Amino acid sequence: MAYDPIIEPLALGNLAGFHLLDVRDPETFDAEHAPEAVRVPIEVWEAAAKAGETSFDNVAYWERAISTLGIDQTTPVIVYDDGRMTEAARVWFILQYYGVDASILNGGWPAIRERDGLLGAVPALATPSVFRASPGSGRVGLVDRNALKAELDTDIRIFDARTKGEYDGDDLRRNARGGHLPGATLLPHADLLDGSFVRPAGELHEILSTAGFQPGDRLVTHCDGGGRAALAAAAAARAGYSSVRAYYLSFSDWAKDESCAIVK
């Protein structure tokens, strides 16, 4: 069965029930948010994923973080951000990796604001809950630096969701080295979007095909720090690719290891 981690705003009415997570900054959330939405402390989650002691291997840490939001294992979770889609994708990726039935709301907060009555009666999340994580049970997988390094000479296809400047090594961001992973194919995440919306499945399939990705390819997405990689993984799944993993720590993690080859 095809897996689409992106849910269209009007499709929310087809759900029997769901919980809402807001991934915007605290000030924006406090000013206005969807009824019963709970804010994800994205700044904490982003830092924790990159820290050794709270990495994705620390299942107990992430169980507590997810439980604090009031999430259980029975009700679908819808994640929205400010319309950039990358931060909602980041949270979706983490949640689904640990076994949460999570989806990204296409269009984010602007899509909610533009449609009065879109959400209907959203149940409140009980805080805290008890969530038991099942790492790796999501439809999109996770790969780390060492595993990816060992797979470079296999049949995997690396989907680089950064900009052309980053790919070419002209834009270093905060990295000491610039360029791209051996064999990586550039497909900037902006090409996957139409404004604040992830493009439909057919358009995404055509875009990925034009970039050189073929049905049945084993894809690994990456960017510089996780958000665009997560969005690329969600877009690839929506386009019909069934073997998709994200190198969540991405190029910033790769570049700091001198033993990891970079092409410029």
Superfamily holding 141-255 = Rhodanese-like domain (3.40.250.10)
Concatenated DSSP letters for 160-223?
A: E-S-HHHHHTS--TT-SS-SB-TT-EE--GGGGEETTEEPPHHHHHHHHHHHT--TT-EEEEE-
* Residue boundaries of the structural domains of the chain: 6-113, 141-255
- Report the pLDDT value the prediction gives residue 225, as an integer from 0 to 100: 96
Same topology, domains 6-113 and 141-255? Answer is yes
Radius of gyration of the chain (CA): 18
Instruction: List the pLDDT tens digit at each of the 264 positions of the chain.
Output: 689 999 999 998 888 888 999 999 999 999 999 888 999 999 999 999 999 999 999 999 999 999 999 988 888 999 999 999 999 999 999 999 999 999 999 999 999 888 766 676 565 555 667 899 999 999 999 999 999 999 999 999 999 999 999 999 999 999 999 999 999 999 999 999 999 999 999 999 999 999 999 999 999 999 999 999 999 999 999 999 999 999 999 999 999 999 999 999
Task: Determine the straight-line distance between the first and last CA of the chain, rounded to whole angstroms.
Answer: 39
Q: Indicate the pTM of the whole model.
A: 0.95
- Class at the top of the CATH hierarchy for domain 6-113: alpha beta
pLDDT at 121: 53
Map residue 107 onto helix, strand or coil: coil
Q: What is the pLDDT of residue 125?
A: 59
- Using alpha carbons, list the distances in angstroms from residue 144 to 39, 84, 149, 181, 192: 28, 25, 9, 14, 24
